[in-house]
C-alpha cells in the first residue's frame, strides 16, 4: 500500500501445497503418501521452501534504468533534451553492446532522448547515460533509494542485495571496473542484486 507501506501480497514461486503440512490423515496409506509428499518438498531441486521474494537476490534489469536516469539528471550528466543515436549496437573497441529492440526485432530507435528512452527501455541510451554519469554516482543514487540494504520486513531470511561500485569490485573480486561494467550496471545487470 503506497500510503502505509503495508505489503498486500508477497509471492514466491515455485511453491508447494501448504495443506500437506497442516493435515494429518487417520487412514495409514493416505498419511504415508502425505508424509512422502512433504519429504519431497524438502528435497525438491527447486528448493520450494526458499522464499525468493525476500531471500532471493537478482539483477533488477530495466526497472533500474529509472535510477540511472535520476543519477544522470542529479549529476547534470544528462538532461531531458540530451539525445543518443540508437544504431542497434554500441561498439567500443572490440566489444559490442546491443539494444534489446535490435537483438529481438532487428529494429532501432535512432536519435532518442530521456523520456522516450525510458518509455522504450532503450539500452543504448542508458549505456551512454551510465557512462556519462559514472558508476559511483549511480551506486550512490541506488543506495539513496535503499538498495543494498535490508528493508526491515518482519519476516526472517531477508537478503540485502548488492549495489556494486568500482571499490567493491576491486576489494571483493580483485578486478578493476571496466566501461562494460558501467554499461551493464546502468541497465540493471552485472553484479547488481535486489530482492
Q: Of these residues, 12, 55, 62, 75, which one is catalytic?
A: 62
Rounded Cα–Cα distance for residues 124 and 130 (Å)? 10
60-80 in b/e form (b: 16+ CB < 10 A) is bebebbebbbbbbbebebbee
Residue 113 known to be catalytic: no
Q: Name the 3-class secondary structure at 95.
A: strand
CA distance 121 to 64: 10
Specify the DSSP element, H or E, that contains 85.
strand 83-86
Residue in 154, 161, 149, 153 with CA at minimum distance from that of residue 195: 161
Alpha helices (runs of H) in the chain, residue ranges in sequence order: 19-22, 28-43, 65-75, 100-105, 114-120, 123-133, 135-144, 166-168, 179-186
Q: Which residues are catalytic?
A: 62
Amino acid at each position: 500500500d503506497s500510503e502505509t507501506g503495508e505489503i498486500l501480497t508477497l509471492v514466491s514461486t515455485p511453491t508447494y501445497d501448504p495443506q500437506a503440512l497442516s493435515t494429518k490423515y487417520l487412514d495409514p496409506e493416505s498419511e504415508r503418501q502425505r508424509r512422502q509428499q512433504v519429504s519431497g518438498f524438502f528435497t525438491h531441486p527447486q528448493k520450494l521452501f526458499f522464499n525468493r521474494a525476500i531471500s532471493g537476490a537478482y539483477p533488477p534489469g530495466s526497472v533500474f534504468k529509472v535510477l540511472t536516469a535520476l543519477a544522470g539528471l542529479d549529476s547534470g550528466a544528462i538532461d531531458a533534451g540530451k539525445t543518443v543515436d540508437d544504431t542497434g549496437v554500441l561498439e567500443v573497441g572490440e566489444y559490442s553492446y546491443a539494444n534489446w529492440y535490435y537483438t529481438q526485432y532487428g529494429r532501432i530507435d535512432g536519435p532518442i532522448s530521456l523520456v522516450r528512452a525510458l518509455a522504450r527501455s532503450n539500452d543504448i541510451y542508458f549505456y551512454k547515460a551510465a557512462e556519462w554519469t559514472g558508476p559511483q554516482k549511480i551506486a550512490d543514487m541506488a543506495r539513496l533509494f535503499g538498495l543494498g540494504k535490508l528493508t526491515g520486513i518482519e519476516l526472517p531470511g531477508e537478503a540485502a542485495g548488492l549495489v556494486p561500485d568500482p571499490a567493491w569490485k576491486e576489494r571483493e573480486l580483485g578486478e578493476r571496473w571496466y566501461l562494460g561494467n558501467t554499461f551493464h550496471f546502468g541497465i540493471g545487470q552485472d553484479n547488481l542484486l535486489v530482492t
